[in-house]
Structure 1
Amino acid sequence: MLRCMKKYFSLEDLLREQLRDLFNAEENYNRHLASFITTATSIKLREQLKTVEGVTRQNIKLLAEMCNELGVPPQGVTCEAMDGLIREAKDTTSDWGDTATIDAALIANAQRIVHYEIAGFGTAKEFARVLSHKTISKTLNEMLQRAVTTDQELTRIATGGWFNSGINNEAADVAA
């Protein structure tokens, strides 16, 4: 949710605020990723979260560039949604005892966050497209595709594949 006193009059204004909101969301996520990486016990999950950390840093840089291109500072907006998602992630990963369930909770929370990114990047991309900001639209589309790939990788780690059972099955085995 965008919390500002200013009134907005155009889709251009909305695009600017969406980019600033996404910038804050990515900065917030980046601040907490190191602790999620440390908490992860699965090597595959830890490696994926390290990849996410690198992508998140790149997203911060790209969002700052897009804001600058549109003449607004990237800072100054608080992404309440990401604050909540991070708070939930921190709470739920501390509530579980066995390592596989902790990893399953990390994946669940990481996927909630990446779904927020998918929605945000996709919406902003469409705003930029209809406003003829071709470079910004293209950059947001690339960010969107990376977020979709991240979601798919997290699903693969959770559910497994041909040669491994996945974190969810490991957590279920511990519970049985």
Structure 2
Amino acid sequence: MKNPSDEKKIGTENPVPITAKEEGLSVQEKFEPDISGGLNELFEDQLKQIYWAENELTKTLQQMISKATSLELHSALSEHLEITRQQIIRLDELFSKLKMKAEGEKCEALAGLILEREKTINRIEEGDLCDAGIIAAARKLEHYEMASYSILISFAKALKLKDSLRLLNKSLQEEKECDEELSNLSLEINIEATSSS
């Protein structure tokens, strides 16, 4: 039978390694370099905000589709809804590549744009004028997304995140194309809204 002093000796000679869990760290934190702070932190914050934004926009786009009367606008918004869903999948992939949990962080700027859209559209009867309001709101949302993806791209370039750049550039290009389509559509719808008001 071993006495307590023997156990102390054994423990001293053969220390049991402290696990990451016992240190209060995840395995990732223990065995990977600490990338918190600085530009990385800004990049991660922006990534979480655009993730929240894209998820919120799936709901917002569905509401706009339900109020749109123009077939062309209905089609453009429906197409962008599907693209937004693909962008969320792309962001999930980006989080995975960065070994981060895919989670959103509320963006007050976008939340304000969504609230503004609700106030504008809900007080207008369906028709050309409502469609014009929908396009105006949708384009503001598009410009927020374009700015967000552009910022993420500039951070990713500085951080040399090549895989992230590829995914982010794809989404930025889609946002630009959608904005251009909505801009072209607004030319006709705004004229029709003028005659119906």
* TM-score, scaled relative to structure 2: 0.79
RMSD between aligned alpha carbons?
Answer: 1.2
Larger Rg: 2
Match of 2:194 in 1: 172
The 5 A counterparts of 1:65-80 are 65-80=93-108
Q: Aligned match of 1:61 in 67, 89, 93?
A: 89
Match of 2:165 in 1: 137
C-alpha contact (below 8 Å) 2:69/2:128 kept by paired residues = yes
Question: Secondary structure of the residue that 1:78 maps to in structure 2?
Answer: coil
Kindly state the Cα deviation for residue 58 of structure 1 after the two structures are TM-superposed: 0.8
Partners of 2:183 and 2:104 lie apart in 1 by 34
Is 1:111 aligned to residue 139 of structure 2?
yes
Partners of 1:137 and 1:126 lie apart in 2 by 9
Kindly state the Cα deviation for residue 97 of structure 1 after the two structures are TM-superposed: 3.0
Is 1:101 aligned to residue 123 of structure 2?
no
Question: Secondary structure of the residue that 1:74 maps to in structure 2?
Answer: coil
Structure 2 unmatched ranges of 5 or more:
1-35
Partners of 2:110 and 2:195 lie apart in 1 by 32
Kindly state the Cα deviation for residue 76 of structure 1 after the two structures are TM-superposed: 4.4
C-alpha contact (below 8 Å) 2:52/2:105 kept by paired residues = yes
Match of 1:3 in 2: none
Structure 1 unmatched ranges of 5 or more:
1-7, 160-165
Q: Percent identity?
A: 33
* TM-score, scaled relative to structure 1: 0.88
**CA deviation string 1:21-52 (max 9, x = no partner):** 10000000112221110100000000000011
The runs of at least 4 aligned residues of structure 1 exceeding 6 Å deviation read none
**CA deviation string 1:84-132 (max 9, x = no partner):** 1111111111112351110000000000000000000011011111111
C-alpha contact (below 8 Å) 2:50/2:104 kept by paired residues = no
Task: State the aligned residue count.
Answer: 162
Match of 2:41 in 1: 13
The 5 A counterparts of 1:40-51 are 40-51=68-79
